[in-house]
């Protein structure tokens, strides 16, 4: 079955620690995205990647970093510089940026204690 | 002001009722999407529209490009339709912009 997986579903970390969220897709999509969802707000774009070894900042990239070493994988690191990291994080992919629908992973809920 | 506005924020209906969720946007777009977010958090795409109307089962989505407005209709609503419905637009920079969502609860 083709799709997007994110792990873990729930993640707890102490303040000041970096944490990496996993995102894998087997849809052969070129474009991948990371979004953050907070209560009462729309999804906001953190980073996107249109192709392997390339990625661009989204609207709220500060305190986050990504890599795209393989087409299938787009991990997100939440660094200690992110002032308010507790949120629901969603990964998505599409055939190409701006083309077609985006397919979403199940999300990771990060809680920083 | 958000580029994508949805109304209502919350909606409670009785099983069988006809439901309408509205979306207005303020930017030029190449496409509009309706998404469904389940209580567990997963999001699925319901429709992608650039003009006119689409129907899938009990769901109907319409878009009026001139008025920058879209509606999502659910006929014969059922408790399993309870979810958050999200309107999103792909603007002319190929960026997706999302509404805050409409939380629908359908009571048996």
Q: Is the pLDDT assigned to residue B4 strictly greater than 90?
A: yes
CA atoms of B14 and B10, how far apart (whole Å): 14
Exposure string (b/e) for B2-22, b if CB count within 10 Å is 16 or more?
Answer: ebbbbeeeebebeeeeebebe
In chain A, what residues touch B101 (CB-CB under 8 Å)? Answer: 42
Share of chain A above pLDDT 90, in %: 82
For the beta carbon of residue B48, count every other beta carbon within 10 angstroms. Answer: 17
**Residues A41, B100: C-beta atoms closer than 8 Å:** yes
pLDDT interval class at A1 (50, 70, 90): low
- Tell me the pLDDT tens digit for each residue of B27-53: 999 999 999 999 888 999 999 999 999
Burial class of residue A82 in the structure, from the number of CB atoms within 10 Å of its CB (0-12 exposed, 13-18 middle, 19+ buried): buried
> Is residue B4 within 8 Å of residue B63, measured between CB atoms?
no
Closest CA to A88 of A48, A34, A47: A34
**Residues B44, A42: C-beta atoms closer than 8 Å:** no
In chain A, what residues touch B35 (CB-CB under 8 Å)? Answer: 104
- Tell me the pLDDT tens digit for each residue of A34-62: 999 998 889 999 999 999 999 999 999 99
pLDDT interval class at A106 (50, 70, 90): very high
User: What are the structure tokens assigned to A57, written together?
Assistant: 């900042």
Share of chain B above pLDDT 70, in %: 99
> Is residue B83 within 8 Å of residue B69, measured between CB atoms?
no
């Amino acid at each position: 079955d083709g799709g997007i997986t994110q792990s873990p579903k729930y993640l707890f970390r102490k303040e000041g620690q970096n944490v990496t969220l996993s995102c894998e897709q087997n849809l052969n999509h070129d474009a991948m995205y990371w979004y953050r969802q907070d209560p009462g707000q729309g999804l906001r774009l953190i980073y996107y990647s249109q192709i392997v070894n390339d990625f661009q900042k989204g609207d709220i990239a500060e305190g986050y970093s990504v890599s795209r070493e393989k087409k299938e994988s787009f991990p997100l690191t939440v660094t200690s510089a992110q002032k308010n990291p507790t949120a629901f994080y969603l990964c998505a992919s599409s055939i190409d940026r701006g083309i077609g629908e985006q397919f979403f992973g199940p999300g990771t809920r990060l809680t920083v204690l | 002001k958000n580029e994508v506005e949805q109304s209502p924020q919350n909606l409670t209906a009785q099983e069988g009722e006809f439901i309408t969720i509205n979306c207005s946007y303020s930017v030029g777009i190449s496409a509009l999407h309706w998404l469904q977010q389940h209580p567990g958090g997963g999001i699925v795409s319901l429709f992608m529209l650039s003009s006119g109307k689409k129907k899938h089962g009990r769901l109907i989505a319409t878009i009026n490009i001139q008025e920058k407005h879209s509606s999502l209709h659910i006929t014969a609503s059922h408790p399993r339709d309870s979810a958050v419905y999200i309107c999103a637009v792909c603007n002319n920079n190929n960026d997706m912009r999302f509404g805050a969502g409409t939380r629908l609860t359908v009571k048996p």
